[in-house]
Structure 1
Amino acid sequence: MSLDINLIAVFAAAIATFLFGALWYSPLLFLEAWAKEAAINTDQNLGSPVRVFGLTFLSTLFSSAMLSLVLYHETTAWFGALKGAGVGAFFVMASLGINYQFAQCSFKQWLIDGGFHVGRFAIMGFIIGGWLY
């Protein structure tokens, strides 16, 4: 069996969700609330931007490629978005919930971080699912 994925759709979905993350964790949306819950000072240097954003994009690209395999040849954007949101909610957000309980993170932080993953996988699924092969 040959698994031929649409690399252009995978790359487009990765770019779109990378930008979604920039918006989600910006001062316009959840940066202040997230930083407060995570006890992070946003004025502090959090490391090399090339490393942080490079690894973030690479991880996003891997997630997008794997979702493409999960959606393998699904051709509706809305089905892809629904399946992507399910992956975000029931795999990623639920898994974060386990770690966050043991790390004693707040419910609010879990909602912010988990909500991001539901949104990003829904966007990935919409793009990949709607992109004709």
Structure 2
Amino acid sequence: MEINFIALFVAAIATLVVGFVWYHPKVFGTIWMRENNLTQEELQKGNMLKIFGLTYVFSLMITMTLMSLTIHQSGAVGMVGGPPMLESAKPSFAAFMADYGTAYRTFKHGSLHGFISGLFFAFPIIGVNGLFERKSWKYILIHAGFWTVCLTIMGGIICAFA
């Protein structure tokens, strides 16, 4: 199973694109700023190169995890010891991959797993942090919604093209 790194790089861009729309003042940006006690002027003081650059790096890290969650064949590759061990895998592995190597490798299937990851992984993490930080449910739902949408799109791209 070859990894299409271009698909991972493209999937990582999803957080920036979705964030541009999601946190726009005409969508959830105004509510988000209010819930964080931030003003437009305070936001403009940030180091945007650092913020967007690290966001992209972190998003690339997420794509690596999403790959194992959305592509079921990753588990089979892991069972033989990972990519370095593929050449020495038993013939049954080659037969399995010949039969099922592209099974469930669609945008739709990856989106489903991305959505599930958002709902059952990102949302609880954001919820726990928000509760301890005494944030509002608006704050929690805005961020959880953002990550659920991002993971849905990223999962679709990764599963279909990686």
- TM-score normalized with structure 1 length: 0.89
RMSD: 1.6
Q: Report the counterpart of residue 119 of structure 2 in structure 1.
A: 89
Q: Report the counterpart of residue 9 of structure 1 in structure 2.
A: 7
Report the structure number with the largest CA radius of gyration: 2
Q: CA deviation at 1:4?
A: 4.0
- Aligned with 1:75: secondary structure? coil
**Equivalent of residue 145 in structure 2, options 98, 115, 119:** 115
Contact 1:14 1:57 in 2 (8 A): yes
* Cα deviation 1:68-95 (Å, max 9, x = unaligned): 1222344111110010011111111111
Q: Report the counterpart of residue 41 of structure 1 in structure 2.
A: 39
2:102 is equivalent to residue 77 of structure 1:
no
Contact 1:14 1:124 in 2 (8 A): yes
**Equivalent of residue 157 in structure 2, options 102, 124, 127:** 127
Q: Structure 1: which 4+ aligned runs deviate by more than 3 Å?
A: none
Contact 2:16 2:52 in 1 (8 A): no
Closer/same/farther in 2, CA of residues 47 and 116 from structure 1, 3 Å limit:
same
Q: CA deviation at 1:126?
A: 1.1
Q: Report the counterpart of residue 100 of structure 1 in structure 2.
A: 130
Instruction: Give 1 or 2: higher helix fraction.
Output: 2
Percent identity, aligned pairs only, is 35
- TM-score normalized with structure 2 length: 0.74
Q: Report the counterpart of residue 52 of structure 1 in structure 2.
A: 51
* Letter matched to residue 34 of structure 1: W
Aligned length: 130
Work out the CA distance in 1 between the residues paired with 2:20 and 2:133.
Answer: 25
Q: Which moved more, 1:16-25 or 1:96-105?
A: 16-25
